[in-house]
Structure 1
Amino acid sequence: METTSVSHNHPVLLDPSPLWLDVCGWLVPAGFPSPAADHTEERIDLNKQLIRNKAATYVFRVKGDSMTGIGIYEGDALLVDRSMDPKHNHIVVALLNNEFTVKRLYRRGGVVKLIAENPIYPARLIKEEDDFVVWGVVTNNIHKLC
């Protein structure tokens, strides 16, 4: 089964230093640009915007195409929080038989599966003999557009 995995053998802990960006105080129309585009109203720290628990948040790079149906593509950076309780339907990073993978968690009626978001890949039923642990919950996907 092809899986979307991470390109590092070990996750990378985030640097807690603030990363400040200017925030515009208006919505961006998907039409013509605003004449006020040169004026910003505040600054935000991306750490505060994207990270719930700094000590438990890691970055994984995606490898593979099994999650393209929900906009996770090869090369994307996933923010993964190890302190969150993984629930049914969460997107998770799991360790399955000593390999990291990112999938949707299915957990109902004693059945646990990892579900790809690409129809060419079947769901993976977790069996009793599998070495399986949900490593963390994906909270954000950083997808480069250009």
Structure 2
Amino acid sequence: VFNHWLCCTDGKHCCPEGTTCDVSSGKCNRGDMTAIDWFKKVPANVGSVKCPDGQSECKTGQTCCKLASGQYGCCPIPKAVCCTDGKHCCPEGTTCDVSSGKCNRGEIAVMDWFEKVPANVGSVKCPDGQSECKTGQTCCKLASGQYGCCPIPKV
């Protein structure tokens, strides 16, 4: 298991500490030996919504809703109404009809409801103060100057 990660100069990949990035081969080398394939960074989240538990978070534009498990999930729309089934949500100004699986406005079913997704628990702030990566990932600067996330933690 690798605990420390370094960002490669191509701005797109990262390698474990103790290896060097070989941009021409796309590998992480240790000495004269090719150690492993390098890891591709993923875009960092810019902005997030903290959930009431103080640990979970959703992307900007999503709504924190409690799941049936008691943990928080994210409704994929802003200012959503969280349904009592602990799995779904509806747009602001509507109500959840758990029996039909619809979002109602008054007595009229206006749309199917949305399914919640698990919330991110914790995050790592990147040096720009705006971008963030999930806990267990490492912030690395991309060639564009923005930050990406290496899928392995930096300890």
TM over 0.5: no
Compare the two structures and name the one with the higher helix fraction. Answer: 1
- The structure whose Rg is larger is 2
Given the two structures, how large is their TM-score scaled by the length of structure 2?
0.27
Compare the two structures and name the one with the higher strand fraction. Answer: 2
